[in-house]
DNA sequence: TATTTCAGGTATACTATTTATACCTAAGGA
DNA sequence: TCCTTAGGTATAAATAGTATACCTGAAATA
């Protein structure tokens, strides 16, 4: 975020150093701000959860969405997928250290949302 | 976020109290997690900025996106639009108190993004 | 025994959001 | 005169998200 602005005598401003590609905020949001991603991470905060339980916990998200988000997070090393049993298949998802590192942001977001009654 | 989980002897878990509608995290994300919204707010942190300057600062977002996001944020009372001049038209956008209240979250997100080199 | 349920997903079709590109009006500068 | 700037809007195409149904194998229910 290097961009600066200078103002001339007429109140006109000039951008001195625009950020030409997604800045840190934007890059972060693309990860934890994807639809359902934040909720997903947040619901994993207390330890491993199984796929269908996540699905039930996030009323409103489809299995496809959950699946896709979990795969994204796994690919980024934020979530760990473990097959705990095949036949009957059973899988759990849990946060890695990196995944857990986002919890503070999400907790702040939750508090903010509740404080200002965001709907 | 009332949902709880109970585990039986086989590692199977049951959701006791699922959140059936978007929880606080999700509701918050729908506001500041929209594409470009976080960046937009963040770039307003140092005071009023004009439309085309925002457009230049957020390399990658189109005017249409910027316009739409600013209108959303204005409608939520997070941003204030002021016409400082007509003929030649000049408009500035700035954060309200509510808009400013989201800055801590965004600042944390920025630090997180940079610390873990999120791309 | 037959049907339904659950696990963890995938397939298909549809809708909504985002992007790319061009354009608008009025004023000012080269 | 032509080009640029301001603050947007219009149109079409690409991408993302949703709703719904379905798959395999095991186990519980009728």
Domain residue limits, chain B: 33-115
Divide the 119 residues of chain A into consecutive groups of 10 and give the mean pLDDT of each group.
39 44 87 95 97 95 97 98 92 98 97 95
Nucleotides on chain C that have an atom closer than 7 A to a protein CB are 6-12, 17-22, 26-28
Give B64→chain A minimum CA distance, Å.
Answer: 17
Per-residue pLDDT for B2 more than 80?
Answer: no
Nearest CA in chain B to A21: B59
Structure tokens at A42: 């947040």
Q: Distance of alpha carbon A33 from its chain centroid, rounded?
A: 5
Rounded to whole angstroms, the Cα distance separating B23 from B85 reads 42
CATH class, B33-115 region: mainly alpha
Chain B residues in contact with A103 (beta carbon < 8 A): none
The pLDDT score that the predictor gives to residue A49 is 97
The pLDDT score that the predictor gives to residue A87 is 80
Q: Are B18 and A60 in contact (CB under 8 A)?
A: no
Q: Do B106 and A11 touch (CB under 8 A)?
A: no
Q: Are B30 and A109 in contact (CB under 8 A)?
A: no
* Model confidence pLDDT, tens digit, residues B29-52: 999 999 999 999 999 999 999 999
Nearest CA in chain B to A54: B15
The pLDDT score that the predictor gives to residue B87 is 81
Helix (H), strand (E) at residue B37: helix B37-43
- Nearest residue (CA) to C1' of C11: A64
List of residues 6+ apart from B59 with CB closer than 8 A: A18, A19, A20, A21
Give B115→chain A minimum CA distance, Å.
Answer: 10
The pLDDT score that the predictor gives to residue B31 is 95
């Amino acid at each position: 975020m290097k961009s600066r602005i200078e103002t001339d005598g007429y109140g006109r401003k000039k951008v001195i150093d625009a950020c030409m590609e997604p800045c840190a905020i934007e890059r972060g949001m693309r990860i934890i701000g994807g639809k359902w991603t934040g909720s997903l991470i947040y619901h994993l905060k207390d330890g491993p959860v199984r796929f269908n339980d996540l699905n039930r916990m996030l009323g409103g998200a489809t299995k496809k969405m959950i699946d896709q988000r979990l795969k994204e997070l796994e690919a980024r090393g934020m979530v760990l997928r473990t097959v705990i049993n095949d036949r009957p298949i059973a899988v759990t998802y849990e946060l890695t250290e990196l995944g857990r590192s986002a919890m503070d942001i999400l907790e702040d977001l939750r508090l903010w949302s509740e404080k200002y009654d965001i709907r």
